[in-house]
Amino acid sequence: MVNLVMDYDTEKKAIDDTKAGVKGLVDAGIVEIPKIFIRPAHELAEELNMPKSTLQIPVIDLSGIEVEDRRKKIVDEIREACEKWGFFQLINHGVPSSVLDGMIDVTHKFHEQDVEVKKEYYSNDQTRRVRYESNLDTYKVKGRSASWKDTLYIRGLVSGHIEPEEIPPVCRKTSLEYINHVIKLEEILLGLLSESLGLKPDHLKAVECDNRQALACHYAPACPQPELTLGTPKHTDVSFLTILLQDRHGGLQVLCDNQWADVTPIEHGLVVNIGDLLQILSNDKFVSSIHRVLAKNIGPRISVACFFQGDSTSHKMFGPIKELVSEENPPLYKEFLIADYVASFFTKPLDKTSLDLFRL
């Protein structure tokens, strides 16, 4: 068990050395969370003054998408959701419920394995294609409170360079099946998002928004003091697009009108959000919204985020889409390489956006 009188760095190292993550703390029977997880006092004070929101992000039904009038209605709903929220939930999206349930199940199974089995994958090296880790933020930003979750990352699926044998056996088959279904859904969404921007349906795909995917399979055990920490601190996503599967316990919140709105889980629904890169391409027509995940005293809670990040090894320059800019609507961002944007994202505090660094 971690000694709570340790200083921050010593405590961080003690937890890290166990390679057991947050789950290891819970298994050790802690009743108070280590200091490394406690949010700064000013954050906790601000929280008390924020109004409780009853807002809910839009829910969009993809059924009947092949019918012209129905598709136009869906496009309009997506446009409105992306302009106001940057978030929406999808139902009747085509990913089989058995695949969704299976992905939740194998994420649970991976994290519930014996520590000796999981240790093989434990690493804070972001260049590793498959790794299990906790609290990466504490390595990026000294003094940043850690997140109450453990994560299995699987990068380079399908269009990358990962070999199936690199994926842990307990989740290998299911994660590959899941990502294949989600990629098909993302292709549909790119068409709808293109149309909602007034572009041809194949525009965003031609821009190579769908190159390179990464799965983040999160496991958040029940927290003995959830009011003092977070499952994930507030942030925006570096991706073009993110598709999230969350279990029935939820915890995701989106900041809208200076209020935290709960994203209430819908059985077999999926959450979609705009990332920074798509906000830039849309020249701020779509928003990459700040969001976070609460810690809770129930668990474990499972969520799986699929990030469509683009190819950071590409020499292709990105910026506002030419068809969306004019004298009346000039470009708001300079052009850049994805690698440069990603580098800026991972060298700043998670709760600070990189968007302003690339504004003209």
CATH of the domain at 128: 2.60.120.330
**In Å, how far from its chain's centre is CA 124?**
18
Residue 261 lies in a domain: yes
Residue 10 lies in a domain: no
Residue 260 lies in a domain: yes
Q: Which residue has the tokens 């068809």?
A: 323
Residue 204 lies in a domain: yes
Q: Which residue has the tokens 């012209």?
A: 68
Across 31-40, 122-131, 214-223, 306-315, the highest mean pLDDT is recorded for 214-223
Amino acid type, 309: Q
Residue 330 lies in a domain: yes
Gyration radius of the chain over CA positions = 20
Helix axes 172-196, 97-111, angle to 10 degrees: 130
Please state the domain count of the chain.
1
Least confident of 69-83, 211-225, 291-305, 312-326: 312-326
Amino acid type, 193: L
Residue 73 lies in a domain: yes
Residue 299 lies in a domain: yes
Per-residue confidence (pLDDT) for residue 348, from 0 to 100: 66
pLDDT of 353 > 80? The answer is no
Q: What's the rounded Cα separation, in Å, for the pair 182 and 194? A: 18
Q: What's the rounded Cα separation, in Å, for the pair 157 and 11? A: 34
Residue 4 lies in a domain: no
Q: What's the rounded Cα separation, in Å, for the pair 13 and 31? A: 20
What separation in angstroms does the CA of 285 have from each of 182, 239, 300, 329? 25, 16, 37, 11
Q: What's the rounded Cα separation, in Å, for the pair 325 and 283? A: 8
pLDDT band with cut points at 50, 70 and 90 for residue 148: very high
What separation in angstroms does the CA of 16 have from each of 19, 21, 119, 133? 5, 7, 11, 9
Alpha-carbon dihedral 248, 30, 118, 18, rounded to 10 degrees: 150
Domain that holds residue 145: 21-355
For residues 311 and 274, the model is more confident at 274
- Quote the mean pLDDT of the chain: 89
